[in-house]
Amino acid sequence: MQLRLFHKLFFLVALTALIASLAMAGVMSLNLSRGFADYLDARDAETLDGFVATMATNLANDGNLKALNDGKLSLPDLLREMARTGQIRGLRASPSRQGPGVQPLGVPLPEKRPRNDEITAADDRRPPRSRPPPPPDSFGPRLLLFDANNIQVTGPPPPRGGQRRKMIERRIMVEGMLAGTAKLLPRGPSPNNVDARFLRSQYIGSAILTIVLLVLAGIAAFWFARSGAKRLSDMQRATDAIASGDLDARVMTKGTDEVTAMGENINTMAASLARLDSARRRWLAEIGHELRTPLTVLVGELDALQDGVRPINMAAVQSLSDEAKLLSRLVEDLHFLAISDLSGPPCQFAPTDAVTLIKNVAARFNPQMGEAGLQLDVNLGQFETLPVVWDQTRIEQLLGTLLTNSQRYTDAPGTVRIGLSQEDGIVQIVIEDSAPGVPPEHLPHLFEPLYRLDEARNRATGGSGLGLAVSKAIVRAHGGTITASSSPNGGLLVEVVLPAESSAS
């Protein structure tokens, strides 16, 4: 069975939380066990220190541990006295009397049996009394005493062989002399004492905390997985809709993380595709309209000639030739734009002179400007020559398109100006005209294909709407920029910025 993204996210987060919780619980238990053991060892060391200090005080008169063997000192009585006076804590010594000789500490003396005549019938019926063994954590049964010659005086036999356990050792010093050594065995297991119950309660608390953390982690993993899977599912639905052609589908975005950024990118992509689709549809409609107009005129004139409505003469042939040339230019412009979008317009860069180029174009348009009631001013500054590396034919096409637009859309009497400047290898050509102008909101769209603004500028004859788009493609092929703005003279100002050497662009 294939796991969904929700299950993968849930299992990933839950497993991570499980491992982290178990690791934390293990570390806590290990630290608690070691820390508590260190605490107990420190407490035993403190008790043994107290015992050694008291023992040294009691042995000050004798100077060694012979008092134990000689009966001058009773170790159980000494332990009871130390516990009673609070000199050391945690002592558990046998309350029985210590007779002459050494009796292991914490091991009770044999009880004195009564004489036969003291035994009564009731005594015969009583079960023998047995004393419970001392707790494994009591002080007395774990205490070993050695004299100055390292001979054990009292206490249980020390551990032997590989099972030797670590013991706490303290020397008993009396007036600077070694009187003996006290050793304390480590605590044995005692599951019912206070220390064990405390440690067990801590383990239980750690286990409960771990379970609570796991439950909370499971809830958090479920919420995280559901939230993440839902956001990605929304993106999947949106992209499926976009792939199916629904370019109005959008992803709901909220937040500032990477998933939100990806959703915003999807929305931007969908909006771009919608604009491209709209432009494509508009292109098809307007190209069809632009091609239909000259074709309709051409077909109409041919039908008129065939029907004898118009005589076949040079005027009719010239009219047909004009319509054919118009159609040819339109097809050429469409082809040029298509090639520009695919691989860049075909340009042949070669050394030329920008001053000569502008003068030639201005000379060609000067008569037409005069007939339209416009004055063409050319300002070349201090330049007599300006060597550049351009495609001369394309730059002449560019300047011709800009001057044609100024001639068509400028009211007479008016003025059209051409300016040339150069700085740091960058050439600037400015063409501006007089009123009427273009509203500012339409300026960014002037270089879009098939965009025309008849309302803003009265024209006598209209073009195809491809001239400025072709001009932008030419400038881009030369590595330059072209912008449109309002002219101080009330008309339109077009600024063309080109590198002096465009062969490397």
Q: How high is the pLDDT of residue 179?
A: 77
Task: Please tell me the distance from the alpha carbon of residue 351 to that of residue 299, in angstroms, as a whole number.
Answer: 44
Domain boundaries, the chain: 1-106+136-157+165-244, 258-342, 347-499
Q: How high is the pLDDT of residue 130?
A: 53
Q: How high is the pLDDT of residue 121?
A: 44
Residue type, 126: R
Give CA separation, 273 vs 235, 278, 448, in Å: 16, 8, 17
Residues 478 and 494: beta-carbon distance below 8 Å: no
Q: How high is the pLDDT of residue 484?
A: 93
What percent of the chain shows pLDDT beyond 90?
16
- Per-position pLDDT tens, the chain of length 505: 445 666 677 777 778 877 887 787 778 778 877 887 788 888 888 888 888 887 777 766 554 555 655 656 655 566 666 667 665 555 544 443 333 334 444 444 344 444 444 444 444 455 555 555 556 667 777 888 887 788 887 778 877 754 455 788 999 887 778 878 888 888 776 666 666 777 778 778 878 888 887 888 788 778 777 777 777 778 888 888 888 888 888 888 777 777 788 888 888 888 888 887 877 777 777 677 667 777 887 888 888 888 888 888 888 888 888 878 878 877 877 777 777 776 666 788 999 999 999 999 999 999 999 999 999 999 998 888 999 999 998 899 899 999 998 998 899 899 999 999 999 889 999 999 998 888 888 888 888 777 766 544 433 445 566 788 888 989 988 999 999 999 998 999 999 999 998 864 4
Beta bridge partners of 482: 496
DSSP class of residue 33? Answer: H
Q: How high is the pLDDT of residue 73?
A: 60
Task: Indicate the fold that domain 347-499 takes in CATH.
Answer: Heat Shock Protein 90 (3.30.565)
Q: Count CB neighbours of 282 within 10 A.
A: 14
What digits encode the pLDDT tens for the residues 478-495?
A: 999 999 999 998 999 999
Task: Please tell me the distance from the alpha carbon of residue 268 to that of residue 271, in angstroms, as a whole number.
Answer: 5
Vertex 472, ends 469 and 477: CA angle to 5°?
Answer: 130
CA atoms within 13 A on the CB side of 422: 17
Instruction: Find, among 450, 415, 463, the residue nearest to 435 by Cα.
Output: 415
- Locate 418 and state its tokens: 């051409």
Task: Please tell me the distance from the alpha carbon of residue 146 to that of residue 66, in angstroms, as a whole number.
Answer: 11
Task: Please tell me the distance from the alpha carbon of residue 401 to that of residue 412, in angstroms, as a whole number.
Answer: 19
Peptide bond into 311 cis (omega under 30): no
Task: Please tell me the distance from the alpha carbon of residue 166 to that of residue 184, in angstroms, as a whole number.
Answer: 9
The alpha helices in 244-313, defined as continuous H runs, are 258-307
Q: How high is the pLDDT of residue 195?
A: 67
Q: How high is the pLDDT of residue 28?
A: 77
E strand or H helix at 497, and its extent?
Answer: strand 490-499
Q: How high is the pLDDT of residue 459?
A: 38
What digits encode the pLDDT tens for the residues 66-111?
A: 565 565 665 556 666 666 766 555 554 444 333 333 444 444 434 4
CATH number 1.10.287.130 is the correct assignment for the domain at 258-342: yes
